[in-house]
């Protein structure tokens, strides 16, 4: 186990470096120039060639791709990504502040949606083709089909504009969490319910279940001890992936509710070609993916004792 963790961490380090390097190189080669986008946003006018070259030299942007990569490597090893070209703030400090905002959304919405989705999914599988199953399937289909921004604005119109119960934007007070979390939870519950139901049904049709039934075991016992326990693998895999996804991908919810999170900031950075932010953020988000995947793999061992990593 120890060996596994060390090896995976080393591979993870490589993945982080490659992810950050790739994202930087792709953006560097892609059309667009940070000096131009940032100057245009700030002055509202087309920057002249002189303005652009002055901005480039003031911000140390001159030089070719290879010298940039060399600079980047130095920064990456020191884990200091410098300052954002746009805000002038240190990238690490900005990331940590924003990560906390995003993590809260991610953890709370996963904490709520996971048990609910499991309960609904298991119940739906147990009552296959009964009315509960149909209703939950239709609802989860609806939940999956509703776009985040639509649901967010819809909630805002109801709870902020009409009822005046909840704030439409803001960060910090408990009331600010409700709508973003509901928005995130709907899609999360909907997709996880479908996965739980499908996996459960697959397990329930296997031979050992038939045997268990034949042996006269209680239905509940079969459901929880046999089928559910064996379904945990795919569920945990999905949860791990969606955790990483929520971390970087809550962009829409963050934008609609003006949440000061990682995703929206990263997208803005891509638009303005804010290289230090992109490099830093991608690298740390990659780190999270690596850690989560590792945790997921370790969890497998506990979920399914048949899985052993020592030989691999």
Partner 1 sequence: MKKRLPLILAATIGAVSLAGCSGGGGTGSETTTASGGSGTTTAASQTASGDKILRIAGGFDFKSCAEARYLVFDSLLQSDMWGQITPNLAESYDVSDDGLTYTFHLKKGVKYHDGTPFNADTAKFSLEYYQKNNSPGEDIESITAVDENTVEMKLKKYNDLILYDIATPTNWGGVPMILEKDVDSEGKITGYIGTGAFIFDDSTYESGVKATMKKNPDYWGGAPKVDGVEWDVVSDPNAMVVALESDQVDAIGIAEHHSSVPYVQVSSLKSKGYNVETDETGRYQVLEYNCTKAPFDDKNVRMAFNLAVDKELMVDTLFEGLTEAANVITSPDFKYGPKKVDKDYYKYDKDKAEKLLDDAGWKDSDGDGVREKDGKKLEVKLIVPNGEANADAVAVYVQSELAKIGATVDVQNLESSAASDASKKGEYDMYVHHSGCMPGVPGGINPGGKYHSSSSWTYSFHSDELDKMIESAFAESNEDSRQQQVAAIWQYLHEEAPCMPLYSVKKLSGMNPRLSGYHVGQNMFDMSMIKDMDMDTSK
Distance CA(229)–CA(207), nearest Å, equals 15
CB of 54 to partner 1, least distance (A): 5
- Provide CB contacts within 8 A for 69, sequence distance 6+: 21, 24, 25
Nearer to partner 1 among residue 3 and residue 42 (C-beta): 42
Distance CA(214)–CA(189), nearest Å, equals 34
- Provide CB contacts within 8 A for 115, sequence distance 6+: none
Nearer to partner 1 among residue 132 and residue 288 (C-beta): 132
Distance CA(185)–CA(146), nearest Å, equals 12
Q: Which of 123, 146, 150 is nearest to 135 (CA)?
A: 123
Q: Which residues pair with 90 in a beta bridge?
A: 83
CB of 236 to partner 1, least distance (A): 20
Distance CA(103)–CA(25), nearest Å, equals 28
Burial class (CB in 10 A: 0-12, 13-18, 19+), 174: exposed
CB neighbourhood size of 290 (10 A): 20
Nearer to partner 1 among residue 143 and residue 244 (C-beta): 143
- Identify the helix (H) or strand (E) that includes residue 7: helix 2-29
CB of 147 to partner 1, least distance (A): 13
Nearer to partner 1 among residue 33 and residue 237 (C-beta): 33
Distance CA(172)–CA(224), nearest Å, equals 39
CB of 121 to partner 1, least distance (A): 10
CB of 222 to partner 1, least distance (A): 14
CB of 80 to partner 1, least distance (A): 14
Distance CA(136)–CA(121), nearest Å, equals 8
Distance CA(294)–CA(13), nearest Å, equals 12
Tokens linked to 119: 């309960």
Is the separation of the CB atoms in 35 and 47 below 8 Å? Answer: yes
Nearer to partner 1 among residue 37 and residue 237 (C-beta): 37
CB of 11 to partner 1, least distance (A): 33
Nearer to partner 1 among residue 149 and residue 309 (C-beta): 149
Is the separation of the CB atoms in 262 and 281 below 8 Å? Answer: yes
CB of 14 to partner 1, least distance (A): 30
CB of 287 to partner 1, least distance (A): 22
Nearer to partner 1 among residue 46 and residue 206 (C-beta): 46
Tokens linked to 67: 């010298």
Nearer to partner 1 among residue 62 and residue 89 (C-beta): 89
Nearer to partner 1 among residue 8 and residue 203 (C-beta): 203
């Amino acid at each position: 186990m120890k060996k596994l963790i060390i090896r995976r961490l080393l591979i993870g380090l490589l993945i982080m470096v490659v992810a950050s390097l790739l994202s930087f190189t792709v953006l560097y080669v892609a059309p667009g120039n940070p000096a131009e986008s940032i100057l245009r946003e700030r002055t509202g006018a087309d920057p002249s060639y002189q303005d652009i070259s002055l901005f480039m030299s003031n911000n140390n942007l001159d030089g070719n791709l290879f010298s940039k990569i060399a600079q980047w490597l130095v920064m990456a090893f020191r884990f200091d990504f410098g300052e954002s070209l746009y805000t002038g703030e240190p990238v690490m400090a900005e990331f940590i502040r924003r990560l906390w905002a995003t993590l809260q959304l991610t953890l709370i919405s996963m904490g709520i949606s996971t048990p609910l989705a499991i309960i609904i999914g298991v119940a739906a599988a147990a009552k296959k083709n009964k009315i509960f199953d149909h209703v939950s399937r239709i609802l989860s289909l609806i939940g999956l089909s509703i776009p985040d921004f639509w649901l967010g604005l819809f909630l805002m119109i109801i709870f902020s504009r009409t009822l005046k119960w909840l704030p439409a934007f803001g960060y910090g007070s408990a009331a600010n969490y409700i709508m973003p979390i509901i928005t995130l939870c709907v899609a999360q519950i909907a997709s996880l319910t479908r996965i739980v139901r499908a996996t459960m049904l697959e397990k329930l049709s296997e031979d050992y279940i038939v045997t268990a039934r034949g042996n006269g075991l209680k239905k509940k016992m079969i459901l929880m001890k046999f089928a559910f326990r064996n379904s945990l693998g795919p569920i945990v895999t999905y949860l791990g992936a969606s955790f990483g996804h929520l971390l970087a991908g809550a962009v829409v919810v963050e934008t609609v509710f003006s949440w000061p999170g990682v995703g929206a900031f990263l997208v803005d950075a891509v638009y303005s070609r804010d290289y230090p932010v992109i490099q830093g953020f991608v690298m740390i988000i990659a780190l999270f993916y690596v850690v989560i995947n590792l945790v997921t793999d370790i969890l497998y061992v506990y979920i399914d004792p048949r899985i052993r990593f020592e030989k691999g």
